């Protein structure tokens, strides 16, 4: 049952209104009293498709940029001495995302009723990942939540910046490829058949390259569904492979071995893992827990396995750096700096330096890729279109020779 309510907030004295989904009116009254709202109006309505929050989201429910802004604003408010409950209340009114607004409002109500901030965040794992929750727990335990939130703000800002650089580098070739495919389809299905039919009507001969292109044109026109079936088959095969642990491992291995892009992916993951570990070490999160979370954050089973080996090595009394040094995934620079950090007791500092180094590497590599891919894609597209045009022109040459 959906209840619309109006009332007065006992803490601020301001008028509040909103909606509440509960099973009965008594439960709605109890919930509002628990959160400190004096009810002036409470109207119940049956939920329908028009009034029900379906909460259907594709991908992440909250955009990375919105979450980064939230972390920075929360860190600023806490550093200014604003209590966590007031900070969440203020931010819940400012965010533009409906899903995020609803999430923060629920967290605000939970904190007001006595729930810890970290515990309230754990109810929304799709919004607040394990890194966020565990660092908040460490901040609450140490009583230094504002410093932890400052580290989290820096962490997510840098992560978002690196993702943006990589996406920018990949966007141009993707867009050009899509445009090229559309142009080629139009040429093969509309322009080429019409032109060749006119040439054949005046007795032109079709050379071999033109026959090949014309055959491809006929397939596109008459059996276009085969291409969709092929794409569907590849998609299903990929999905089935990902569901299998060995298949997922193979996919992640190939992602790291693809020329140029594999190296970019590898550096990006190393930067992400190092930044995650550095932030959590600085926040006094237990080291074994850090390695488990870093394996999840990596998003790559090959690298996750190496981090799990490091975790087991550390648990067995050995060093953290040894499995890193024995793996091809992590360059020698990483294992050497981790080893130095272990020896000097400054592992968080060394990990932060590794993260800084590889974030800079990713930025430079992404910029170089953009500069190289732009002319390369133009050449490739020009060559493909040129071959199609040449195939269309060859019969004309044979006509001129017979004149």
Structure pTM?
0.72
Domain contains 375? yes
Q: Does residue 402 share a domain with residue 327?
A: yes
* Span 352-402, pLDDT tens digits: 999 999 989 998 888 888 788 878 888 888 888 888 878 777 777 666 665
Q: Does residue 282 share a domain with residue 398?
A: yes
Q: Does residue 305 share a domain with residue 274?
A: yes
Q: Which residues of the chain have pLDDT under 50?
A: 49-58
Domain contains 164? no
- Cα 241 from Cα 245, distance rounded (Å): 8
Q: Does residue 366 share a domain with residue 236?
A: yes
Domain contains 56? no
Q: Does residue 393 share a domain with residue 258?
A: yes
Q: How many domains does the chain have?
A: 3
In terms of Cβ atoms closer than 10 Å to its own Cβ (0-12, 13-18, 19+), residue 225 is exposed
CATH code, domain carrying 354:
1.20.81.30
Q: Does residue 69 share a domain with residue 21?
A: no
- Cα 138 from Cα 212, distance rounded (Å): 66
Tell me what pLDDT residue 74 has. 92
Domain contains 52? no
Domain contains 351? yes
Q: Does residue 263 share a domain with residue 122?
A: no
Domain contains 241? yes
Q: Does residue 218 share a domain with residue 106?
A: no
Which residue is it, tokens 């040439």?
A: 199
Tell me what pLDDT residue 167 has. 83
Domain ranges, residue 37: 2-45
Report residue 55 as tokens: 């909460």
Q: Does residue 199 share a domain with residue 153?
A: no
Domain contains 301? yes
Q: Does residue 257 share a domain with residue 363?
A: yes
- What backbone torsions phi and psi does residue 81 show, to the nearest 5 degrees? 95, 10
């Amino acid at each position: 049952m959906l209840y619309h309510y109006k009332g007065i907030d006992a803490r601020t004295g301001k008028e509040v209104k909103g909606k509440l989904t509960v099973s009965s009116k008594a439960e709605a009254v109890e919930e509002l009293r628990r959160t400190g709202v004096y009810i002036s109006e409470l109207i119940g309505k049956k939920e329908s498709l028009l009034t029900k929050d379906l909460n259907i989201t594709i991908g992440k429910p909250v955009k990375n940029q919105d979450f980064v802004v939230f972390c920075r604003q929360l860190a600023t408010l806490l550093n200014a001495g604003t209590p966590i409950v007031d900070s969440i209340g203020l931010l819940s009114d400012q965010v533009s995302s409906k899903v995020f607004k609803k999430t923060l409002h629920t967290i605000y109500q939970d904190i007001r009723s006595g729930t810890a901030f970290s515990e309230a965040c754990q109810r929304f794992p799709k919004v607040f990942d394990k890194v966020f929750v565990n660092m908040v727990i460490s901040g609450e335990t140490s009583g230094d939540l504002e410093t932890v939130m400052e580290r989290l703000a820096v962490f997510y800002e840098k992560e978002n910046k690196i993702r943006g650089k990589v996406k920018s580098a990949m966007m141009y070739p993707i867009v050009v490829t899509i445009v090229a495919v559309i142009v080629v389809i139009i040429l093969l299905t509309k322009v080429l058949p019409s032109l060749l039919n006119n040439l054949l009507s005046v007795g032109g001969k079709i050379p071999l390259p033109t026959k090949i292109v014309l055959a491809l044109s006929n397939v596109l026109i008459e059996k276009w569904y085969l291409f969709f079936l092929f794409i569907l088959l590849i998609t299903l095969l990929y999905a089935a492979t990902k569901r299998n642990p060995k298949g997922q491992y193979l996919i992640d291995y190939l992602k790291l071995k693809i020329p140029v892009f594999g190296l970019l992916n590898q550096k990006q993951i190393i930067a992400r893992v190092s930044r995650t570990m550095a932030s959590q070490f600085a926040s006094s999160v237990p080291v074994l827990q850090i390695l488990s979370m870093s394996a999840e954050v990596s998003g790559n089973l090959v690298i996750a396995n190496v981090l799990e080996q490091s975790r087991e090595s550390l648990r067995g009394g050995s060093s953290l750096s040894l499995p890193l040094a024995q793996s091809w995934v992590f360059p020698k620079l990483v294992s050497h700096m981790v080893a130095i950090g272990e020896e000097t007791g400054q592992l968080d500092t060394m990990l932060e330096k590794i993260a800084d180094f590889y974030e800079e590497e990713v930025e430079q590599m992404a910029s170089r890729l953009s500069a190289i891919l732009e002319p390369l894609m133009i050449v490739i597209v020009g060559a493909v279109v040129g071959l199609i045009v040449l195939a269309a022109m060859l019969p004309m040459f044979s006509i001129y020779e017979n004149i």
